[in-house]
Every structure is written in structure tokens, then in C-alpha cells.
Amino acid sequence: MSGATSEQLAVRAASGDVMARRCFGELVERYHARLFNFLLRRVRSRHDAEDLTQETFVRAWNRIRSYNPTWRFSTWLFTIGSRLAITHHRRSRDPVGGNVVEGLSERAPSERRARGGIWALAAACLTPEQHEAIWLRYVEELAIAEIAMVMNKSQVAVRVCLFRARQALAERLPAPDQQDVDAAPRVAAALAGGM
């Protein structure tokens, strides 16, 4: 079962046979940390992110029969998670995806942010929407169409969002002195000086 793709496992889980629950357990194991880290950037606390992760998996299990295998399972799962995060923000009346996440906040010490490199810069200077698009593109490696599905936007809007995010990062990233140098010290300098 461990050799099966996530999509195969999801289809098996949707079939409702005796192995369905076990297949879904395997999916939980595969995506738990990834979904948690994605949601951690959308909500303000670790506790809320864990609650949302749990809620996302329960909802996915209840609606596994509506999963369409033409889409990647991760796309479907992250779409559910993203919708739940929006609902969570509406309930708590907070702006969507504030950057004040425990352990990742812009108030964290600069040396800690420097370790995150470009991602710390992204968390500090991008809008929540841009950060979500960047995360889905470069961490989850989703295609533009898949990001559009997760964010409930058109593909053009996603492309524009990604372009603006990269532009914002490029403007804040200091010019390289050497071509092959590691960017971490430059990012640290940008975070310490420019924010």
C-alpha cells in the first residue's frame, strides 16, 4: 500500500471497502505535516492550525466520495483546508492570514528569520494571498491550474499574484556581490535593515 500513489489511495478510500479506512490513514500520515505547515501560515496560532488540520481531514473523509481523481489529491485536500481557513478567519473576524504566526512572526529575532532565508522575507513583506500562492507553487509544487483551484481564482489572477510576489521579493532582495554566493546573509541583511 505504501507504493500506491495518493490518488490511488484516495480512490480506494472512496470505494468504501474494508481497506478504505486504512488507505485514508495512509493519506493522513503523508499529508499531515504538509497541511499543518500550510495552515500555520494562514492562521495565527499553532493551536488553530492543528484544529484546522484535524477538521480538514475529517471533512475530507466525510466527502471522500466526491473526490475527482483527475485532480491531485493534494490539490483537493488543500482546497478544503483553504476554505476552512477562510471560514475560520470570518468567525474570528481577523484579516485573512496575518503574518503573526507563533515561531514565524515578523517580530521574531532577526537571526531566526535569517535561517528561513527567502521564506522569512516572504512572510514579512508579502500579502497573505501572495504568500499562499508562493507557498503552493514552490513548496507544494502545484501547477497554476491547481493553485487557481485551491485559491478559488482564475489562472490569470494566480499568475499575476505570483509575478507581483516575486517582484516584491526582488525589490527587497539586495543586489548580489557575487553570482554564486549563498543568499542567506543578504536576506538577513534585508530583514534587519529594510523591514
Partner 1 sequence: MGRQHRGSRSRSRHAEVERLLSRTPPPWVDPSPDAAASIERSIDEATQTPIPIELPWLRQTRWGGLVAAAVAVAAVGAFTYVIGHMSPVPTSAPIALSLAPERPLVVFPAESVVTPGAQAEARAASVASRVGRPLESEMELVRRDTQRAVGQVFSRLPIFEPR
Count of residues in contact with partner 1, rule CB under 8 A:
44
Encoded one letter per residue, x for contact with partner 1 by CB under 8 A and - for no contact, window 125-164 reads ---------xx-xxx-------------------------
> Shortest gap between Cβ of 170 and partner 1 (angstroms)?
4
Among 30, 32, 83, 153, binds partner 1 (CB under 8 A): 32
173 lies in the binding site for partner 1 (CB under 8 A): yes
Among 169, 188, 190, 191, binds partner 1 (CB under 8 A): 169
* Triad 45, 53, 116: Cα angle to 5°: 55
With H, G, I as helix, E, B as strand and everything else as coil, classify residue 1. Answer: coil
50 lies in the binding site for partner 1 (CB under 8 A): yes
Q: Cα separation of 80 and 57, whole Å?
A: 9
Nearest to 10 by CA among 26, 154, 165, 166: 26
In sequence order, the 6+-apart residues with CB closer than 8 A to the CB of 104 are: 40, 41, 116, 120, 123
Q: Cα separation of 18 and 127, whole Å?
A: 45
Nearest to 60 by CA among 75, 45, 39: 75
> Shortest gap between Cβ of 103 and partner 1 (angstroms)?
6
Q: Contact positions toward partner 1, by CB under 8 A?
A: 21, 24-25, 28-29, 32-33, 36-37, 40, 46, 50, 53-54, 57-58, 61-63, 65-66, 68, 103-104, 115-120, 122, 134-135, 137-139, 166-167, 169-170, 173, 176, 183, 187
